[in-house]
Structure 1
Amino acid sequence: MKKTVFYILMAGALVLASCDSDDGGTSLIDFSASFANESTSLSGEESTKTITVGFSRAATEAGTLTIDYSGDNAEYGTDFTTTPEGQSGRLSLSVAEGETSVSFELNKLVDLIEGTSASVTFTLSGSSNADWVIGSPVSTVVSFTPVAATSGTIDPDVSGPNEPNMVFVDLSSVQQSSVRRDTWELAFYNGTENRVFLNSSLLVSAAELSGETDINAVSTSTVLGEPMALYTLNMATFQPEEVEVATVGELLVGLPVGYAQYGNLGEGIRFTDDKEGSLEGTAFAEVSTVPEENNVYIVGLGTAIPDNVPDAGSIATTGDHRGFMKVRILSDGDSYTVQYAELDATTYDEVTIDKDPSTLRTAFSLTSGETVDVEPETEAWDLQFPSVFSYYGAFGGFSGAGLTYSDYVVHNTLGNVGLYEVLTYEEDDEGTRTDFDVPSYAEYSMADVDEGSLVYDNRAIIGSDWRVSGFSGAPTVRDDRFYILKDADGNYYKIKFTAVLSANGERGYPQFIYEKLQ
């Protein structure tokens, strides 16, 4: 029975186990080149746009791609140039052996007069290698004024099997931005409520010390005002076990995110933010504008990003625990005051963070004492790839456990982005398939959109369910589902994941396609 529970636990949590490569020695697929997107645009602030040509696999030989271009109300040398140069209506891109994509830049030289428009169309016209194929899309249109992209292929810069980056993606502008997920621990909400979020991609946790408002008086030996009745998962029996915590030192044992993390869901006690990403579901209580109502918290700083390279198809995302700090946060409604120190220190540092209405949250590093640029502006991203994602929740019939997932995806619910999943079929345990009466991804149109199914209060609809974890082999993309997204500007898109591995079989290289619904 213990073995059965163990395997259920491991499989259900999608724990990040090593997987053997399953390349099977198959022959190479044809080499084809195509643009990543059919259209893109420059924002008002942009003067340069990078345009990518992706390959179906890594190049096994060097060569050259030829790209022709034509301008609509845009003249080369007057309105725009390219890098590399292409004054005669054509430019060449060198492809080196081993590359999986190449790119060039369009440089805007002048701003448009208000009310006018301009664009440049680039078309793949040939190659130096006879066995190279031009794929689809063969052309891409770059507009000098912002327009919602009609379709595209996006490779979020998660950056490999350690999944070190969190990535923000905006579909309408075909933009993505990334930042290392170990550069911050806390993020401060810039809305009307005074809320503090934890960096779940780093496995950060936090526990409130009820009645403790003097940060200098708190240490490892501090006795809690009242003992806490909590639960842990006994790792020998895989059964819940009650624990009573009476001191800060005892609390530290069960604060790091993991199966044995302490909590008590029946009493609403958990030391992580909730999976759904709600304002009410943060481990930190809402920060009061009355100073004496704000208690000290113990913050687990999460786990380091390892740098070891696992076998192809496997991941290595969680390293050593980064330790603990004590934190107290105050607010006047327009800014936050953060008091923070090492756990046994008798003095503390203090910093004030003003609310920035242009973004949802302002990130802060307790280890550097500085704010960090993480999120784009509120309406400038639709999807986030935190890559690694953690929370404390019910699981497998147990009272609760700290869970960690890889390859995770969330959508921008606080930024008014809605999303729902479309399942096309399901298979039972015996492999019997039941097809659902829904259009395929290719056939799905605006007429099929179900406005009432769009989810705005749970960021984790996609989560890690878009792929099979690879627990008994290399991970694979599920082909039974795709997603419908409505962005903050009212654009509708259909989204389908197409890769979880790189062309070389490495984990941490997701890819998806999308198309605007008209």
Structure 2
Amino acid sequence: MKKLTFLTATLFLAILSSCSSDDSEDLIDFSVTFSSATISTTETDTTKEITLNFSRAASEAGTITVSVTGENATYGTDFSTAPAANSGTIAVPVAAGDLNATITFTKILDPIEGNTKSVTFSLAGFDNTQWVNGTVNSATVSFSPIAALNGIIDLENGGSNMPNQVYFDFSTGQQTAVKRDTWEIALHNGTENRVYLNAALLVSAAELDGITDLLSVTEATALTTPLELNTLDPMTFQPTTVTVNTVSELLQGLPVGYFQYGDIDDGVVFTDSWQGDLEGTAFAAVSTTPDDNHVYIVGLGNEIPTEAAEPGSINTTGDHRGFMKVRILSNGSNYTIQYAALDETTNISEVTVPKNSSYLLSGFSLINGQSVTVEPAGDEWDINFSGVFSYYGYQGSLIAGLTYSDYAVHNTLGGVGLYQVTTYEKDSEGVVTNFDVPSYANFGRGDVDESAFVYDDRTVIGSGWRDAFGGVLKDDRYYVLKDAAGNYYKLMFTAYISNEGIRGNAQFTYERL
């Protein structure tokens, strides 16, 4: 939470890094596993990367032999690969230092309607006798969409700066990485006209009640009604109140942070709610009556730093990106975004964005003045590993603008449900209480509790799967997910940091029930 350097984790990792990487006795077994057991293609998506993950970086070069078997599919006619196959096998090269290897599968011919085609890739051997098979020894590529069976996913959040949001779809095993600074606001494509803020970039927004003339607003503009807001005293870190009379005074407490202004009791909050519901947006519902839509001051969030953090720590929040004034209108089928720099008094920019029913939200970049494809289609993602997540709310007894790292939310707007299974609890004295629930390995379809699925709070996973202060992955929990198509999955995080101790390199395993 926040930009903390976790001393315990750093010391632990420093001890690890002091060990010689050339000392073979300190190396874990080098195992090879497919990242997913099932992979789908579509009519338009004909090329797939089949990833072989390694348990650690290769200490020496070698070759992995992978056998290739087609069902109603002939090599060279129906499909091809790179590296090329020879007599039913592929020699996959591994260089010293590699963490994975890939085979590129290309579909040449779709199956005739009513028929199926697939190709199975299996680990067949290694030229290094010390290398061993991992947990997933084969991967089947279907020429048609199928629900994925299981997989091990290395998230592409991008390291200690966590530059990427990652969307993951369990039924296809597909992850989509998007830089989190490519958009500030997103427009809801459903029947309600709503605007979401980019919580991964620490974007905030404050309504200027009663003000509809965008060009009339500057820092000197007086609020129609002064606001009594809560904040923390910067000297004592104790709660205090401030009176805000002008836009300039409002700007002091608009950026997300411990000193952010707000008043939860009176409903004055400058971020979206953590739950992600339509009624919890900082922007009020966009009315089809133009005069009901007021001007907002939007805090554009914080830059993504480029300097990597020390092992075990994070560096996700750079300089503030400034403010814009924004007004959004709607006729029910389109949104019209009016925006300008805060000191602009002559010209405004205006863009009309039609609703697109294929997507839950349509991203928009105020800085670049254009629509941005952020989320995959509404039914093509289940979890967003946002990396960074922010909102105004409670942290124990503290009420402030909060920022979390290593964060995950599920697609509640798209009808995805999820709940946590806790296997044991440890009290402050270290006494362990085991709960009467199956282990992750033993959890099956018959163990699913339909009443436990959460559809109205996207933060069930949140950052609770790791202990940042201890620098460790929590092993007392796993999660059960039901996607919009009715497929059930269990998932559990299996890595918190990379082999080199770098944050922003999480891994999880999943299995369809």
1:289 Cα deviation (Å)?
0.2
1:16 Cα deviation (Å)?
2.8
Quote the Cα distance in structure 2 between the aligned partners of 1:87 and 1:333: 58
Which consecutive unaligned segments of at least 5 residues does structure 2 have?
A: 20-25
| Equivalent residue for 1:476, pick from 472, 475, 489 | 472
Q: Which residue of 1 aligns with 2:22?
A: none
Partner amino acid for 2:311? A
Q: Which residue of 2 aligns with 1:265?
A: 264
Task: State the TM-score, normalizing by the size of structure 2.
Answer: 0.96
**Does the Cα contact within 8 Å between 1:296 and 1:326 map onto a contact in 2?**
yes
Quote the Cα distance in structure 2 between the aligned partners of 1:182 and 1:301: 9
Quote the Cα distance in structure 2 between the aligned partners of 1:36 and 1:395: 36
Q: Which residue of 1 aligns with 2:332?
A: 333
Alignment of 1:410-429 (within 5 A): 410-429=409-428
1:127 Cα deviation (Å)?
1.4
| Equivalent residue for 1:505, pick from 501, 506, 511 | 501
Quote the Cα distance in structure 1 between the aligned partners of 2:4 and 2:43: 45
1:216 Cα deviation (Å)?
0.4
Q: Which residue of 1 aligns with 2:74?
A: 75
Quote the Cα distance in structure 2 between the aligned partners of 1:390 and 1:270: 12
Deviations 1:121-166 (Å, cap 9, x if unpaired)? 1111111212111222111111111111111111121010000000
Alignment of 1:452-491 (within 5 A): 452-469=451-468, 471=469, 475-491=471-487
Alignment of 1:333-352 (within 5 A): 333-346=332-345, 347-352=347-352
SS at match of 1:447: helix
Q: Which residue of 1 aligns with 2:369?
A: 369
Q: Which residue of 2 aligns with 1:134?
A: 133
1:22 aligns with 2:22: no
Quote the Cα distance in structure 1 between the aligned partners of 2:492 and 2:44: 30
Quote the Cα distance in structure 1 between the aligned partners of 2:425 and 2:84: 51
Q: Which residue of 2 aligns with 1:149?
A: 148
SS at match of 1:298: strand
Q: Which residue of 2 aligns with 1:393?
A: 393
Partner amino acid for 1:463? G
Deviations 1:203-222 (Å, cap 9, x if unpaired)? 00000000100000000000
Q: Which residue of 2 aligns with 1:36?
A: 35
Task: State the TM-score, normalizing by the size of structure 1.
Answer: 0.95
Partner amino acid for 2:142? S
Partner amino acid for 1:189? H
**Does the Cα contact within 8 Å between 1:424 and 1:437 map onto a contact in 2?**
yes
**Does the Cα contact within 8 Å between 1:156 and 1:169 map onto a contact in 2?**
no
Report runs of 4+ in structure 1 exceeding 6 Å deviation: none
SS at match of 1:68: strand
Which consecutive unaligned segments of at least 5 residues does structure 1 have?
A: 1-13
Partner amino acid for 1:170? D
Q: Which residue of 1 aligns with 2:23?
A: none
Partner amino acid for 1:41? S
**Does the Cα contact within 8 Å between 1:388 and 1:408 map onto a contact in 2?**
yes
SS at match of 1:508: coil
Partner amino acid for 1:179? V
Task: Name the CA shift for 1:21/1:352 in 2 (closer, same or farther; >3 Å).
Answer: farther
Partner amino acid for 1:499? A
**Does the Cα contact within 8 Å between 1:76 and 1:87 map onto a contact in 2?**
no
1:120 aligns with 2:119: yes
1:163 aligns with 2:159: no
SS at match of 1:488: coil
1:290 Cα deviation (Å)?
0.2
Alignment of 1:240-251 (within 5 A): 240-251=239-250
**Does the Cα contact within 8 Å between 1:77 and 1:87 map onto a contact in 2?**
no
Partner amino acid for 2:65? T
Quote the Cα distance in structure 2 between the aligned partners of 1:97 and 1:188: 47
Deviations 1:6-40 (Å, cap 9, x if unpaired)? xxxxxxxx333123152334611111111111222
Quote the Cα distance in structure 1 between the aligned partners of 2:112 and 2:75: 17
Deviations 1:429-448 (Å, cap 9, x if unpaired)? 11111111101101111111
SS at match of 2:325: strand
Quote the Cα distance in structure 1 between the aligned partners of 2:282 and 2:402: 15
Quote the Cα distance in structure 2 between the aligned partners of 1:312 and 1:291: 51
Quote the Cα distance in structure 2 between the aligned partners of 1:99 and 1:510: 18
Task: Name the CA shift for 1:21/1:98 in 2 (closer, same or farther; >3 Å).
Answer: farther
Partner amino acid for 1:370? Q
| Equivalent residue for 2:490, pick from 494, 497, 500 | 494
Instruction: Give the % identical residues.
Output: 55
SS at match of 1:364: strand
Q: Which residue of 2 aligns with 1:217?
A: 216
Quote the Cα distance in structure 1 between the aligned partners of 2:154 and 2:198: 23
Partner amino acid for 1:502? S
Deviations 1:384-415 (Å, cap 9, x if unpaired)? 011100000023223x2000000000000000
Q: Which residue of 2 aligns with 1:383?
A: 383
Give the count of matched residue pairs: 500
Task: Name the CA shift for 1:505/1:231 in 2 (closer, same or farther; >3 Å).
Answer: same
Partner amino acid for 2:495? A
**Does the Cα contact within 8 Å between 1:422 and 1:484 map onto a contact in 2?**
yes
1:51 aligns with 2:38: no
Bigger mean CA offset, 114-123 vs 234-243: 234-243
**Does the Cα contact within 8 Å between 1:121 and 1:141 map onto a contact in 2?**
yes
1:467 Cα deviation (Å)?
0.5
Bigger mean CA offset, 506-515 vs 231-240: 231-240
Deviations 1:442-474 (Å, cap 9, x if unpaired)? 1111111010110100000000000011x3x5x
Root-mean-square deviation (Å): 1.0
Q: Which residue of 2 aligns with 1:309?
A: 308
